[in-house]
Structure 1
């Protein structure tokens, strides 16, 4: 019987390898988007190139999406199951907390459509808001 994480990889035409299964497990256990360094830290002694290639494969196959913004580091989060290698469906906002430095996906907050001149060809859209996350805002309130 296949492991659910193996099924997840196979559904995206990704060959399950021990490293890919470990990286997927790390991403599934987190509520915030993770940088390459965050994933490496969670894995302990993992080869940086292998982790980077794994995240690239996951992105290329529509399993994760890249989040650029906030901390200056590219971060990765699991995609909506409808994402494909050709088209990511993750047109939602992201939030970068200036206190705890976590980047969170906000799937209920859609990126509004933006009209551009016809000569422009959009390849990627992102919306990153910055401020205090729910947890940090609550902590700030209790300190006042």
Structure 2
């Protein structure tokens, strides 16, 4: 979802999802939408030290439940969060895209331009969520290190 970084857009997003417009929620949205990578709760805590851990956890949980953000895991198994596309709904995410974990800088990128391939499962199985992870070196780290 492409969000401009102004307060009105975030307030409208919270209205649309029936969430109160609180300063901590607006700040979390602003911070997350400004990042090109997924971010973890500890990373958010380090830059938003005036929002306590429990409040931040509740904000992230509410945003995930409402389809505003989605959870993706990094190479260490830590939950990271990224803004959802506009077609995510409450309790039903449409974040079936490649999640790229850089083994150098440890950032997690949502490569939304790459769709998931069609998966045909045997009779009786129903896919409710699908995740595709790739591990490698991101463009930023590729520029830093000499070619081998």
Question: What's 2:65 paired with?
Answer: 60
Of 85, 109, 114, the residue aligned with 1:109 is 114
Q: CA deviation at 1:80?
A: 0.4
SS at match of 2:87: coil
Q: Which moved more, 1:63-72 or 1:91-100?
A: 63-72
Runs of 5+ in structure 2 lacking a partner? 1-6
Deviation sequence 1:5-59 (CA, Å, 0-9, x none): 1112112222211111111111011110011111111212321111111011001
Q: Distance in 2 between matches of 1:80 and 1:12?
A: 14
Matches within 5 A, 1:46-125: 46-125=51-130
TM-score (norm 1): 0.90
Runs of 4+ in 1 over 4 A off after TM superposition: none
Q: Which moved more, 1:111-120 or 1:97-106?
A: 111-120
RMSD across aligned C-alpha pairs, in angstroms?
A: 1.6
CA contact (8 A) 1:70 1:128 kept: no
TM-score (norm 2): 0.88
1:132 aligns with 2:108: no
Pairs aligned (count): 142
CA contact (8 A) 2:99 2:111 kept: yes
Deviation sequence 1:111-134 (CA, Å, 0-9, x none): 112122233232321111001001
SS at match of 2:109: strand
Deviation sequence 1:77-126 (CA, Å, 0-9, x none): 00001111142122111100000000001011111121222332323211
1:6 aligns with 2:18: no
